[in-house]
Amino acid sequence: MFSNDFLLSLLSAKHIVILTGAGISAESGIATFRDAQTGLWERYDPAVLASADGYLADKSLVWGWYEWRRTQVLTAQPNAGHLAIAELAGYVARVTLITQNVDDLHERAGSRSVIHLHGSLHQPRCFQCAEPYVFANEIPTIAPAGERIEPPSCKCCGGSIRPGVVWFGEMLPEAAWQSAEDAILDCDALFSIGTSSLVRPAANLPDMAIIRGAKVIQINPGPTPLDAKVHYNFTGKAGEILPALVKALADLVS
Ligand code: OAD
């Protein structure tokens, strides 16, 4: 599946960027957004559930929906794709991992310094004053889908706590975006894994890497707008292709 030239180019790279999307967590049982039938935005309205206006219109509906998603993540486990990405770092001089995902499965697989472009389900904050809110340690049980849950109140100002994810119409966290751009300016190769490459500005990162002369590699079972632009396109599941890649690298260096 992998040519020696391809594997050697990874081993000799000075800096590889890995950009992941919802597809990397699909094999952990976490729904993607746009896959037909199973995608969250196929079943739920993002205008209601992923916008500040939607939150202000019905806080308990929105908070309950994110509690359903957060508790699903708490009970899920990293899959072979997450684990292989963490292992890949052992074969390459430098890896920067950028994710659009709001779960913590990369971290739980052992990846460090993950750049979260779209925030985190696990780091909510006050809607009014932005003070972070810390969840109590809890035994994970999945909140029922569709249950309305009143958001907690901010200890500082009494405002309502909102999910810590980036909603439509909002800016990406500035420091995360800056780190992502810096990594792109410095990388020799970029992996785009499990993302539909439809949501900007994250979807601009592979284009920026291509313009800079970096090699772009995609892993995805379905078609994306990147197909026509990438240097290597591996069609299939991240949880199958990534472990095979790590094994091929291990075989080559042994
Ligand atoms: P999408 O749902 O748009 O795309 C998921 C991609 O994963 C699709 O291209 C699938 O083909 C692919 N996929 C499915 N199973 C896979 C597997 N086992 N291995 C590899 N790939 C697989 O998700 P994103 O591109 O991440 O924003 O969506 C981008 C953003 O849109 C999300 O971060 C979210 C959403 O609105 C926020 O949460 C702020």
pLDDT in tens, 200-219: 999 999 999 999 999 999 99
Q: What is the pLDDT of residue 225?
A: 97
Q: What is the pLDDT of residue 146?
A: 82
Catalytic residue flag (residue 118): yes
Q: What is the pLDDT of residue 137?
A: 76
How close is the Cα of 156 to the center of ligand 1, in Å? 36
Q: Is the CB of 166 under 6 A from ligand 1?
A: yes
Tokens of residue 11, six digits = 């081993």
Q: What is the pLDDT of residue 38?
A: 87
Number of the ligand 1 atom closest to the C-alpha atom of 46: 36
How close is the Cα of 186 to the center of ligand 1, in Å? 25
Residues 6 or more apart from 219 whose CB is under 8 A from it? Answer: 191, 192, 193, 194, 234, 236, 238, 241, 242
Tokens of residue 158, six digits = 């009494």
Is residue 9 within 8 Å of 195, Cβ to Cβ? no
Q: What is the pLDDT of residue 138?
A: 73
Half-sphere exposure in the Cβ direction for 226 (13 Å, CA): 34
Tell me the mean pLDDT in the region 119-138: 94
Answer whether 0.95 is exceeded by the pTM.
yes
Tokens of residue 132, six digits = 């972070």
- The residues with which 215 forms a beta bridge, in sequence order, are 189
Which residue from 1, 123, 136, 118 is spatially nearest to 50, judged by alpha carbons?
118
Question: How far is the C-alpha of 81 from the C-alpha of 99, rounded, in Å?
Answer: 13
